[in-house]
Chain A
């Protein structure tokens, strides 16, 4: 009897020791888990704080060397040889402007009008201005285009480009009007109003930009170039890509430029003929939506 009592007491003592050891182990595990949770939270908070530190604005046309690069790139863009576009791949159907059902002719000073609606912060507008400037330069000339970059805190940050705000376009065969609705900091810049606002709201109720209408009968919504190709690129790199029809940029931007040119040729009735009868434009015109 005494032996079984001693055995029971020993078993109970062992059980209590095991339970105490388990509780001690559990306490240590809880402490380790709390430390792990705190480390994760701290990492995310510190990461978010560092990411949101104010950064010095990059050369939005401010630094001398970037401004020189922008000017050099623009000079090459507006004078891009037709042979370069003829040697580039053909556009794909997605790059062709959509027909606006119920669209009526948009004119200005007796000429068919191209309306661009965008914003300076918008990275896709930044990209789309490259082929648009190149295409429009075949029908007239720009002045006052200022270098800038898209927003620093959005996708494809700081995409090099030019702003249409404050610029002018002259042509014998086309009218071009651009409305940059906001600046790089997303503050209101130029008002979208009157006939421009009416056509934009009618055919683009979701308000996507860049939105370009060709004569009020056709339009593109968004960038028609491959956005990823512009990431991290400089003016020099982008124009070098455009000048090389075999480069990735050349294979995307040049067909977009050709498609725009073909659409503009439809507006101008094939003028100027040297542009509108070029090999690339003639090929692209089969994609025009009639």
Chain B
């Protein structure tokens, strides 16, 4: 009587592209946010423009719009992508916990809302575009789309044996 005990283990099957694409975007967002945070705290913040070349006086200033509730926006972005990266790890995508999908999408929707607010501030208040900030905004938007469609296209959770479980990622 040596039949192996099979343990049933619930896993979520996902489109194969979902975990690597979302994780890749999260890591990219994390890297750019880290750079923006580094620049925020180490820039000498001289209130000066530059003579010649690409003129962007906003590059060398810290405007009131770069803080939310007293916290630098760059730091908020860094924290956002730390959490997002954790939510997009392959093992987390495989988890059958029902709260993860709405939490993940909700989190990214909040991030998208913040990105839209910052774009508005750039266009209508600061009157200048920060290229690295725009990169973060674009990554956030694309990540939101990837997660939105990825979760819609994911089959419902099913229980499978641990021996047969296929890692869809």
Contacts and interface: CB of A to CB of B under 8 A. Distances in A.
B159 interface: no
Contact of B47 (A154, A181, A223): A223
Interface in A133-189: 152-157, 181-182, 186
Interface of B: 46-53, 55-58, 60-61, 63-64, 112, 116, 119-120, 123-124, 126-128, 141, 145, 148-149, 152-153, 156
A157 B57 CA distance: 11
A29 interface: yes
Contacts of B64: 228
B61 A155 contact: yes
Contacts of A208: 46, 48-51, 60
A155 B48 contact: no
A29 B152 contact: yes
Contacts of A51: 123-124
A33 B51 contact: no
Given A33-B148, A48-B123, A227-B61, A26 B153 contact: yes
B49 A125 contact: yes
B48 to A, nearest CB: 3
Contacts of A119: 49, 51
A210 to B, nearest CB: 7
Contacts of A1: none
B152 A124 contact: no
Among B48, B49, B57, B116, find the residue whose CB has the most chain A CB atoms closer than 10 A: B49
Contacts of B127: 152-155, 157
A33 B126 contact: no
B57 A33 contact: no
A186 B54 CA distance: 10
Contacts, number: 95
A44 B119 contact: yes
A186 B56 CA distance: 11
6 contacts: A26-B153, A123-B57, A155-B57, A155-B127, A208-B51, A222-B48
Interface residues of A, number: 42
B51 A221 contact: no
B168 to A, nearest CB: 16
- In the complex, the 3 A-B pairs of residues with the closest C-beta atoms, listed nearest first: A222-B48, A208-B48, A51-B123
A47 B49 contact: no
A228 B57 CA distance: 13
Given A154-B127, A155-B63, A208-B50, A124 B149 contact: no
A182 B51 CA distance: 9
A127 to B, nearest CB: 8
A206 B48 CA distance: 10
B148 A36 contact: yes
A134 to B, nearest CB: 18
Contacts of B53: 207
A183 to B, nearest CB: 12
